[in-house]
Each structure stands twice: as structure tokens, then as C-alpha cells.
């Protein structure tokens, strides 16, 4: 029924003991959309993304990826490229060797073209030949984003991708994400920065204390609702 919808989240709830980290979260990510999950630290963004990558089970609710209900180990996870937890790079290998190893493990062909495209997006230049142990945090972050984009997955899920990047790299990342969502692909990206979501996303889901406080087109939500801005920027 929702076979063409990259992501559909219904009534998501996650409890840790007595603490409710995510409560009644519903949203959709459609093809062509860059959806920002916006909220202050502790709002439940990472928890939401971890649940939808199958890294932890929800207490309640359902997630559908291209119409398939997501359960841990679902084959449909292979249609999602994700940067949710820092990938464990092999420190003594170069950035390029790490991506090649990762790609080989997915068992897919046409490696060179896919790698080249991802590396171009990452913009690491000649640094791809250096060992990852000598990378700065920002370089690791860019390599991780390149890895998530390998093979141009139809749905890209990124947790705070601009963390550790400098302003020119952040600007470039915005361009990359906008371009990425063309050709029917979709992006879900978390952020605690309103300005970032405003400049990057088509749609926004604003969360606070685990619950959605506003959602819709960025142009409709941002600016129109000063309380949303205050809550978010106060964090
Ligand atoms: P941040 O930007 O800081 O990662 P966030 O919006 O991603 O914020 P989460 O990391 O999802 O927030 O955390 C939401 C709440 O759930 C926080 O109060 C956090 O302390 C709590 N929490 C997260 N993971 C666990 C856990 N494993 N056990 C107990 N509480 C947790």
C-alpha cells in the first residue's frame, strides 16, 4: 500500500524504564523530500533514528520502509544509507580502503563508479589515501557520510551530519543533501539547529521531550510559529 513511500513512522514510542524518550511520533518521508528532525538535545532524535535503523526495539509503534514493516535485520534496511552511529573505521587503513572494504562487504558490483561518486560528495581530496587514524573529527564525519551514500540508497538517514564540520563544509553538505533528494531519493536528517533545517530541508518535524510539537513544510512552520523557534533555540 505504501510501497513507494520511503519511510512511514506510526505511533512510535520508546521507554527506558519509567522514562519515555519518544512518545506518539508519526511522520512520513516521501521521495524528493529532505525532512529535518529538529529538536534540542535530549528531544529523542537519536532514539528515533536508532529505532528506525533497527538498532533498538520500539516499545510501541510501527515503521514501514517502502511498505515493508521494519523489524531487526529486515532486508529492506539495505535500501537505507545511514549515519546513525559512528561507523567503526579501521584506523590503520586509508579512508578509501575503508570505503572499499565496506562496499565489498555489501556484495555489490560497479564499485569504482559508486566509490568515486561518494568520494566526490565527501570532498576529502587526496586525504582519502591517508590512514583514518590521522583524520580529524570533521574528516571522519565526511567519510562516514560518504559511506552512508555509497550506492546512492533511496533513503538516506543522517544523525547530526554537520557535527564537526566547519562552515564551508556545512554549506557544502547542505548542497549535497538537496541534490541527493532529487531523482526520487529521500533524506531524513536530524539537527538541533533551526537555521540548518531552514536552509537544508523541505519539511520539518519538530520534537521536544520525545513528542512532536509541529510538523509540515519548512516554509509553513519556520517563522510562523515563534514558540517553536524559542523552544528550539533555547536548548
Ligand atoms: P542529542 O542531540 O543529545 O543526541 P536527542 O534528541 O538525540 O539528543 P536522544 O539521544 O534520543 O535525544 O535521548 C532522548 C532521551 O532519552 C534523553 O533524555 C536521554 O537521556 C534518554 N536516553 C537515550 N538513550 C537512553 C538509554 N539507553 N537509557 C536511558 N535513557 C536513554
| 67-77: pLDDT as tens digits | 999 887 788 88
Nearest CA to ligand 1 atom 9: 44
| 93-123: pLDDT as tens digits | 999 999 888 888 877 766 677 777 777 777 7
pLDDT at position 71 is: 81
Backbone angles phi, psi at 97, to 5 degrees: -65, -35
* Three cell numbers written together for 101: 572494504
pLDDT at position 170 is: 85
| 25-37: pLDDT as tens digits | 999 999 999 999 9
Q: Is the pLDDT of residue 222 over 90?
A: no
Distance 42 CA to ligand 1 centre (A): 5
* Alpha-carbon gap, residue 91 to 156, rounded angstroms: 25
Q: Is 191 in the pocket of ligand 1 (CB under 6 A)?
A: no
pLDDT at position 235 is: 40
Averaged pLDDT, 135-139: 87
Q: Residues near 55 by Cβ (< 8 Å), separated by ≥ 6?
A: 84, 85
pLDDT at position 105 is: 81
| 164-207: pLDDT as tens digits | 788 888 888 888 888 888 888 999 999 999 988 998 899 999 99
**Contact (CB, 8 A) for 157 and 80:** yes
* Three cell numbers written together for 129: 589515501
What is the number of the ligand 1 atom nearest to the C-alpha of 43?
Answer: 6
Average pLDDT in the chain = 87
pLDDT band at 47 (very low <50, low <70, confident <90, very high): very high
**Contact (CB, 8 A) for 92 and 131:** yes
Averaged pLDDT, 44-70: 92
What is the number of the ligand 1 atom nearest to the C-alpha of 160?
Answer: 2
**Contact (CB, 8 A) for 131 and 94:** yes
Q: Is the pLDDT of residue 234 over 60?
A: no
DSSP structural state of residue 230: H
pLDDT at position 230 is: 41
pLDDT at position 109 is: 62
DSSP structural state of residue 115: H
Nearest CA to ligand 1 atom 27: 16
Q: Give the residue, out of 12, 25, 44, 160, with the most ligand 1 atoms within 8 A of its beta carbon, to mutate for a pocket test.
A: 44
* Alpha-carbon gap, residue 69 to 13, rounded angstroms: 16
Q: Is 43 in the pocket of ligand 1 (CB under 6 A)?
A: yes
Averaged pLDDT, 146-163: 90
pTM listed for this prediction: 0.89
* Alpha-carbon gap, residue 118 to 152, rounded angstroms: 8
| 2-30: pLDDT as tens digits | 789 999 999 999 999 999 999 999 999 99
Q: Is the pLDDT of residue 139 over 90?
A: no
Amino acid at each position: 500500500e505504501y510501497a513507494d513511500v520511503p519511510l512511514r513512522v506510526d505511533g512510535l514510542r520508546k521507554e527506558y524504564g519509567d522514562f519515555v524518550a519518544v512518545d506518539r511520533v508519526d511522520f512520513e518521508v516521501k521521495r524528493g523530500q529532505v525532512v529535518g528532525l529538529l529538536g534540542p538535545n535530549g528531544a529523542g532524535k537519536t532514539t528515533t533514528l536508532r529505532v528506525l535503523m533497527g538498532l533498538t526495539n520500539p516499545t510501541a509503534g510501527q515503521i514501514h520502509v517502502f511498505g515493508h514493516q521494519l523489524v531487526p535485520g529486515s532486508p529492506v534496511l539495505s535500501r537505507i544509507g545511514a549515519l546513525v552511529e559512528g561507523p567503526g573505521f579501521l584506523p590503520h587503513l586509508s579512508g578509501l580502503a575503508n570505503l572499499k572494504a565496506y562496499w565489498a562487504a555489501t556484495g555489490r558490483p560497479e564499485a569504482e563508479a559508486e566509490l568515486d561518486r561518494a568520494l566526490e560528495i565527501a570532498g576529502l581530496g587526496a586525504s582519502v589515501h591517508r590512514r583514518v587514524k590521522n583524520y580529524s573529527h570533521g574528516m571522519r564525519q565526511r567519510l562516514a557520510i560518504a559511506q552512508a551514500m555509497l550506492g546512492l540508497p533511496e533513503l538516506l538517514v543522517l544523525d547530526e551530519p554537520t557535527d564537526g564540520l566547519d562552515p564551508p563544509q556545512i554549506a557544502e553538505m547542505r548542497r549535497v543533501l538537496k541534490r541527493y533528494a532529487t531523482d526520487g531519493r529521500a533524506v531524513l536528517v536530524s539537527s538541533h539547529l533551526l537555521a540548518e533545517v531552514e536552509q537544508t530541508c523541505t519539511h520539518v518535524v519538530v520534537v521536544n521531550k520525545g513528542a512532536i510539537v509541529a510538523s509540515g513544510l519548512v516554509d509553513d512552520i519556520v517563522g510562523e510559529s515563534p514558540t517553536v523557534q524559542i523552544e528550539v533555540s533555547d536548548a
